[in-house]
Amino acid sequence: MKSLSFTLIGIILLAMLITSCSGLGGVKTTPTVEEPTATAVPLKEITLCTAEEPKTLFYYGEQSKGAELVFDAIYDGPFDWVNYLAEPVIIEKVPSLGDGSASYVSGAVNASDLVVDVDGNIGPLAEGVKLFPSGCQAMDCAITWDGVTPIQMDRLTLVYTLKQGVQWSDDETVKAADSQYAYLVAAGLENSRYEEIVDEIVTYEAIDDRNVKVTTLPGLITSDYTQFFFSPLPQHALSSYTSGDLETVDAAAKLPLGWGPFKITAWNAGTGITLEKNEFYFRSAEGYPALDKINVKFLKTGRALNDLIAQDGCDVIDDSLIKAGASSEINTLQNDRAVRVETLPGENWEVLLLGINPASYDDGYYPYGSDRPDLFSDVAVRNAIRQCTDHEAIAGQQVLIGNGHPFVYFPYDVQNGSATNVFDTYDPTAANTALDAAGWKDYDANPATPRVAYGVSNVPDGTVFSLNLYTTTSSENAQIAQGIQTSLANCGIQIKTVATPAAELYAKGPEGVLFGRKFDLALISWKIGDTLPCALFESEEIPSEDNYWIGVNDGGGNVTGYQNAAFDAFCTSARYGSTDQAAALNAQLEAAKLLDQETPFLSLFFDAKTFIVDSKLCFPDERNSEKYPYSSLEYWDFRDTCN
């Protein structure tokens, strides 16, 4: 019975299966496969914290560090400066005499015509003006016009070609007409920092969609062809406004269009600026920018750096939020693997000036009268002072330093720079030997007492080697001055530090200590940028009564009284007498080598520009630029390991 039941059940099930299959009409079914939901790729987003909120983002308006940061994000170029040389970004190439994109065109000039003289000054052609005649592009062929002889001079013509594919962040093409429009805007502004450049230009025209042609006044010789290109403004968005309006209208001053890796999507006053990836960036096909969003957050100074990281979520802490008092925090953070401390040369150059020629010598030197003895005219003595100064110890007192042993006034390492000078090496034994040979004697063999002159050229016998060192009242300078005093005591040179209020130290001559040339030694900080300051040591920039204590052209920075005709020639060639930027840089190097050999000052160090950065946020390796790291925002990216 049991087996019969199982048989019946099997027959019934088979029948049901046959019936079911015939009901489908032979149609095959395809199983439904559910696609897995794609995981959203997280945005690469950072918070960049700064104390510098811009007043305006109008490109040709008031400049600030906060504005420069944003400009580096929304504009790319037009040129970058790396190792003191220009590199084109949105321009096909820097104009060159070699390929004809730069040229000097000869033409007649007449009395009273505006020309540029050999020092770069604009003025009417008149008798006595020193100028470059046609075909002359160097100081050795410059002439002084006699006011009568017919003369031809060269006008510089430059053609700039925009790269294809450069778009505004609203997808409009960046055109040559946008650069011409920017020039006209700048020319229409009052008290603009572009006034001098505008005055040197005769014509500025867009000759088609991609090419701009510029012609300058006759006589202008320069190697910096970048300065005559005006960074474009979006004419299609701004042409209805006057130049004055652009300083305040939102379309130019708050939410300007750009062509760079990022675009501004919001500016909340007092809080921050939001930068998002510009989908129309001309390098987007290469994968740039790597980040999707940068939240620029404005914070007040004085807060603990760890709080900025923990409470405000700062992935990058800008130098503006890092003050000298944060040194202990920075020391701690340098050992924190979650962050890294980026230290770069700052803009402040710490230098010890030697008062070679005091102003009292200008009417003649009277060593037995009221004039200070001629302590520094002997280069061997100046170099001995340098060799006796322990640069390393002085720099080591600073918690952070940008460049602890710069070559003269170069903040970054110099390509093809000179070999290390023997006097850069701290060697008090050699320095003492040199001082003794120069006639500065240590008769009591006691380094605690100063040396005395015996047979020193231009110095009365018996003169004690005792110097006043002027500096400001800051604690930092007091510490550095103490280091100098300690060093030089080992060579029998007595130092008395004179802490002086800055207003008195930097006052105009003849009253001021510096510009009145009334010091033995002066410890000061000079602001130095990508423009190398050889003019600070040109002979014509010695402040004196004859030039109203302001020098001839550049403010009278040569307060040391240093004079060297060969140096002057190299410096002038670098600034006004070179037509190639590499040649101009070489002239700067040659000028600097003379300073390095003759030591009118001791180059101590550049201060630090410091950033605290998330350890996995990587910057590019190329750092020899004043605007680094913001000049390379498109390359910023997260990686497990940064080089």
Q: What is the pLDDT of residue 403?
A: 86
Distance of CA 172 to the CA centre of its chain: 31
- Helix count and strand count (H, E) for the chain: 15, 24
Short-list 123, 121, 108, CA closest to 155:
108
Q: What is the pLDDT of residue 17?
A: 34
Helices 428-437 and 379-387: crossing angle, nearest 10°? 160
Mean pLDDT of 335-356: 93
The order of strands in the sheet holding 151-161 is 102-109, 151-161, 211-218, 201-206
pLDDT per position as a tens digit, 166-223: 999 999 999 999 999 999 999 999 888 999 999 999 999 999 999 999 999 999 999 9
> Comparing 587 with 421, which gets the higher pLDDT?
587
pTM: 0.86
Short-list 519, 511, 505, CA closest to 474:
505
Contact at 8 Å (CB) between 49 and 299? yes
3-state per-residue secondary structure call for 49-100: EECCCCCCCCCCCCCCHHHHHHHHHHCCCCEEEECCEEEECCECCCCCCCCC
Mean pLDDT of 380-387: 98
Q: What is the pLDDT of residue 220?
A: 95
Report the distance separating Cα 70 and Cα 57, nearest Å.
8
pLDDT per position as a tens digit, 401-457: 888 888 999 988 775 455 567 778 899 999 999 999 999 999 888 878 999 999 999
Q: What is the pLDDT of residue 325?
A: 65
Q: What percent of the chain has pLDDT over 90?
A: 76
Distance of CA 423 to the CA centre of its chain: 28
Peptide bond into 78 cis (omega under 30): yes
Asked if pLDDT for residue 3 goes beyond 50, the answer is: no
Sign of the Cα pseudo-torsion (75, 80, 86, 88, in order): negative
DSSP code, position 410: B
Mean pLDDT of 457-478: 95
Asked if pLDDT for residue 279 goes beyond 70, the answer is: yes
Q: What is the pLDDT of residue 36?
A: 58
Average pLDDT of the chain is: 90
Which tokens hold the place of 454? Answer: 């015996």
> Comparing 18 with 338, which gets the higher pLDDT?
338
Report the distance separating Cα 143 and Cα 127, nearest Å.
11
Which tokens hold the place of 318? Answer: 């800008």
Q: What is the pLDDT of residue 327?
A: 76
> What single string gives the DSSP state of each residue in 448-514?
TS--EESS-TTS-TT-B-EEEEEE-S-HHHHHHHHHHHHHHHTTT-EEEEEE--HHHHTPPTTTSTT
Mean pLDDT of 561-585: 92
Asked if pLDDT for residue 27 goes beyond 60, the answer is: no
> Comparing 414 with 299, which gets the higher pLDDT?
299
Report the distance separating Cα 200 and Cα 53, nearest Å.
33
> Comparing 621 with 163, which gets the higher pLDDT?
163
Q: Which helix (H) or strand (E) holds 631?
A: none
Q: What is the pLDDT of residue 578?
A: 83
Report the distance separating Cα 516 and Cα 591, nearest Å.
25
Domains of the chain (ranges; CATH) run 45-74+260-338+615-638 (3.40.190.10), 85-235 (3.90.76.10), 347-530 (3.10.105.10)
Asked if pLDDT for residue 530 goes beyond 80, the answer is: no
Mean pLDDT of 512-528: 96
Report the distance separating Cα 379 and Cα 382, nearest Å.
5
pLDDT per position as a tens digit, 127-152: 999 999 999 988 889 999 999 999 99
Report the distance separating Cα 437 and Cα 274, nearest Å.
66
The CA dihedral of 361, 362, 365, 368, to the nearest 10 degrees, is -60
Asked if pLDDT for residue 2 goes beyond 50, the answer is: no
SS3 320: helix
